[in-house]
Every structure is written in C-alpha cells, then in structure tokens.
Amino acid sequence: MEWAFKEFDELELRELYELLKLRASVFVVEQDCSYQDLDGKDYQATHLLGYQKDKLIAYSRIFRSGANGKKYAMIGRIITQKQNRRKGIGFNLVKKSIGFCKNYYGNETIKISAQVYLKKFYSQCGFVEKGKSYLEDGIPHCAMYLNHT
C-alpha cells in the first residue's frame, strides 16, 4: 500500500475524481443512500489516499478542531473499496488518520460519526462510544471519541 496525505489544493484532478468516485460507489450506490456527499467541507480537510497498484482503494478526510465550527479533530468519510475489505486495510487507514491527528494536532480528542454496525471495528481502533445513536442520512450512527490523554 502507498499512502498520501494531501490538502484540497494539492489534489490532482484525477485524484479528486477517483476519491469522489470511491465515496459515491460505497456511500451512495452500495449503501443505497441518497445524500449530498459534496458538502463544501472538502476544502478544509486533509485527504488521506490509500493506493494499491496505483488504484485508490482506501480514503478518509481529516479536520483539525475548529474546522466547520467543531470543537474536536474529526475523521470522516472513512472508506475501503468493497473488494478490499477484511484485509486490514481499513484498520491501517484509521490508524494512519489517527497518527496524522497526533502529529499535527497534538493530544486533541478525535471524534468520528460511526455507522452503528461498525462500532466494534472502531472500538478496536481505540474509539469509545458516547451518547445515543442517531440517524444520519437514514443510516444509524453513533458518536465515538478517541482521547490521547
């Protein structure tokens, strides 16, 4: 696997197309969820791109605290291509995203909005659920946090 962290303005047009294609293939098509993926927040994010043989198969977007009015660092749009799941790539993706937060944001708390069926996976990455489950775009989610202190 090759990994690259890029700010929005550093993304090449082909990279932007591929990450939007990957997000749509899972979040819109696979999960049969009609929602506004292009939410205007990509400009403020650091994008983590995971390649295998020059093909984008994993992705997340990372926000510093204060971005979008949030009080925590956040990791979102965590995704692994369907045919590449259950191979440890998602775990590595999350760990690399957490590592980026630690390196650039210090010991800030990191928040994710996790799909409920993935709670166990994110717990294995160190996240703890807080609060009640809620619907986000018609899919059950829960807030999960990772504290470094």
% of the chain with per-residue pLDDT over 90: 76
Number of structural domains (the chain) is: 1
Q: What angle do CA 93, 51, 15 make, to 5 degrees?
A: 105
Q: For residues 130 and 11, give the distance between their C-alpha atoms in angstroms, rounded to a whole number.
A: 34
Q: Could you read off the pLDDT of 58-68 as tens digits, one per residue?
A: 999 999 988 77
Tokens of 43: 């400009």
36: pLDDT strictly greater than 80: no
Distance (Å, whole) CA 15 – CA 31: 23
Residue 148 pLDDT exceeds 70:
no
Mean pLDDT rounded to a whole number for the chain:
92
Q: CA quadruple 147, 44, 122, 124: dihedral positive or negative? A: negative
Q: Dump pLDDT digits (tens) for 68-110.
A: 777 899 999 999 999 989 899 999 999 999 999 999 998 889 9
Rg over CA atoms, the chain: 14
Q: What is the mean pLDDT of residues 18-39?
A: 87
Q: By the 8 A CB rule, do 85 and 33 touch?
A: no
Beta bridge mates, 129? 144
**pLDDT at residue 38, as a whole number:** 85
The yes-or-no verdict on residue 149 having pLDDT over 60 is no
CATH number reported for the structural domain that contains residue 34 in this entry: 3.40.630.30
Model pTM greater than 0.85? yes
CA distances from 58 to 47, 75, 84, 139 (A): 11, 13, 9, 21
Structural domain that includes position 109: 2-146
